[in-house]
Amino acid sequence: MNIGETYIGKWWLPSEEESEFQGVLTVESNGDFVLNFLKDSTSINFEKKYRNQTEFSAIVGIAKENKTGKEFSFKLLNAYITYSSISRLSNFKIKTYSVLRSKSSEFSTDLKFDKLSLRTDLIDDWFNIYGYDFSIQYQKKQNFKLQYLQPDPIKLYTSNVFDIEAFFSVGHNLTFDSEFTSKQLVFLNLYFHKPKSFEELKTNIRKIRDFFTLANGAPINIHKTVFTKEVEGKKNPNFNFDFYQKSRFKNKIPTYLQARRMLINYDLIKNSSQDVFLNWFEKYDKLKFLMNNYFGSLYNEYKYTEDKFLDFIFSIEVYHRGKYGGFNFKNDAYLKIRSRILNCIDNSSDKQWLEARLKDYTENTLQSRLKHILEINELSLDGLIENKEEFLKQVVETRHYHVHSFVKNEEFVVRDVVVLSQITRKLGIIIQAVLLSELGFEQDVINKRLKKNSPIDFN
C-alpha cells in the first residue's frame, strides 16, 4: 500500500456485522491509515453508539482500490477514533498504524498463521547467490539467451517452535515490452510447527529486523511482510495477508556499505547459521534492555546526539550489570568478608540499613563497567580508541553532566556536538562488538569485520 492510495467499500466491527457502513480507507502522506465514513451511508448514529468507546481492537472490511478496481479484504488493527461530529457524519474518522490486506474473503480476527515471510533491505546482497546464466551469440542479428535456475531454499535455523529458510524467486515485466527487466528476490520464510496468532508473530518481525540491522551494520527496513494460513487440499489456495505498518524511519543505506563490508554476511556463517541464530533468539529476550535501547535509538532519526549518547551508555551499563552483577566483579575477598559481617547481625532492619550503605561503596561505577567491557573485548576493539583513559573520562563526565548537571572534572565534558557524535559512534561499535561476541564470534574475526564495516578509521 502506497501513499495516496484509496480503497472504497463496506466496513464493520467483527462482533457487529449489522453495524455495516461504507467508508474510504486512505494512506495519508505521513503514513497513517485513515478510514473516513461516507455521509449518509448508514442510519446508525455512530456518535451516539460509540460515545464511550474510542478504541477498537479490529475493524474488518472489503473494499476496492480506486484506480485499479482490485478488491481486497482488510483488517484494521488497534484502530481508534480521531475526530467525530454529530452534525457531519463524514468527519467521523478512524485511524490505525497497522493493516492486514488480503485477496481472500477470510474476515476472522482470531485467525492463526503457519508461515511468516519477510523481505528486508540488502537481503539479496547478504546472500550473494544468484541463479542467472546469460549469454550472447553474434550472428547476423544480435541474439541473447537468459536462463534462470532457481537456487534451492537454504535452511538457516531450526527449532521446536519454527524453522527459517531463505526462499529465492524471480520476477519480470511483460515479455513483449521493449525493455525486459528480470530480478531475483530473496524472502526469509519462518515456518511454525503450530499455528500462531498475529500478536505472537509480530515479536519475530522485530527480532529478524534487528538481527539484519546488526548483520549489515546499519538500520534496515522490512519492505514486505506476509502472514500465511495454510489450507489443506491442493485446490484450496492458502490465505495470504500482506502486513502494512506505519514507520517514520526512512532508511538511507550508506554508500560505503557493500556485501563484503557487512558485519555478518551469509558466507561468514553458512556453516554455523544454526548456532548463530540460536544464540540470537535465546539471548534476545535476556538482553532485552540492551536491545531496546540500542536498536530503538538507531531507528529514531529525530533523536539529538546527546540523547543517543545517553542511550548507548545506558545500554552498556545495563548489559554489564545483567552479566557481571552489581558489585565489584574483581573483589571476591571483600564480598566474602562483607557476607560474614552481615550474617553476624540478627536484627533484619539493622542488616538492611548496613547493606544499603555498604552497597554505595562497592557497586560498580560507570567508569569501572566501561573499562571492564573494553578490557574483555580488547582484541575485538583493537585500534578503535587511541587514548582509553581520556575516552573513559570524557564518557563518564559527559554522562554525569547531562544526567546530574554537575561534574568533578569539567574539562573532560564534551560539549562539541561533532566530537560527541564521534564518541557516540565508538560506543555503538563497542555494543556491536559485545553483540557479536554473544553470538559466538571470535575476537579476531570481530575486529576484522568491524574494521571493514565502520566508517570510522581504526588506528
Residue 80: strand pairing partners: 55, 95
Q: Which residue carries 479490529 as its cell?
A: 58
Cell of 174: 511483460
C-alpha dist (Å) from residue 438 to 63, 207, 211, 283, 287:
48, 15, 12, 8, 10
Each residue's pLDDT, cut to its tens digit, for the chain (459 residues) gives 888 889 999 988 887 777 788 888 998 888 889 888 776 656 666 666 666 667 888 888 899 998 888 999 899 988 888 765 555 444 668 888 889 999 887 777 778 899 999 988 888 888 888 777 665 555 555 566 677 788 889 999 999 999 999 999 887 666 555 666 777 888 999 999 999 988 888 889 999 999 998 998 888 888 889 999 887 765 667 888 899 888 766 666 655 556 667 889 899 999 999 999 999 999 998 888 888 888 888 888 778 899 999 999 999 998 998 888 765 555 666 667 777 888 888 888 888 887 766 665 556 788 888 999 999 899 999 999 989 999 999 999 999 888 887 778 888 888 999 999 999 999 999 999 999 999 999 999 999 988 888 777 777
- Cα 8 from chain centroid? 32
- Judged by phi (left if over 0) then psi (alpha if -120 to 50, else beta), residue 440 lies in left
SS3 category, 158: strand
**Model pLDDT, residue 299:** 83
Sign, CA dihedral 272-277-278-280, equals positive
Distance of alpha carbon 124 from alpha carbon 401, whole angstroms: 44
In total, the chain counts a number of residues equal to 459
Q: Domain residues of the chain, as ranges?
A: 6-102, 112-258, 273-453
Where are the extended beta strands (E) located within 216-300? 222-229, 239-245
| Residue with cell string 573520562 | 393
Tell me, rounded to whole angstroms, the distance of Cα 388 from its chain centroid: 32
E strands in 250-399: none
Query: CA–CA separation, 262 vs 218, rounded Å?
Result: 9
For residue 450, give the nearest of 217, 207, 169 by alpha carbon.
217
Given a contact cutoff of 8 angstroms between Cβ atoms, the answer to whether 322 and 344 are in contact is no
Query: Hey, what's the cell of 114?
Result: 503457519
At residue 331, the pLDDT reads 61
Bridge partners (DSSP) of residue 112 are: 197
Backbone φ and ψ of 183, nearest 5°: -145, 135
pLDDT of amino acid 427: 93
Burial 70-82 (b: 16+ CB within 10 A, else e): eebbbbbbebebe
- pLDDT at position 424: 93
Q: Which three cell numbers stand for residue 35?
A: 478510514
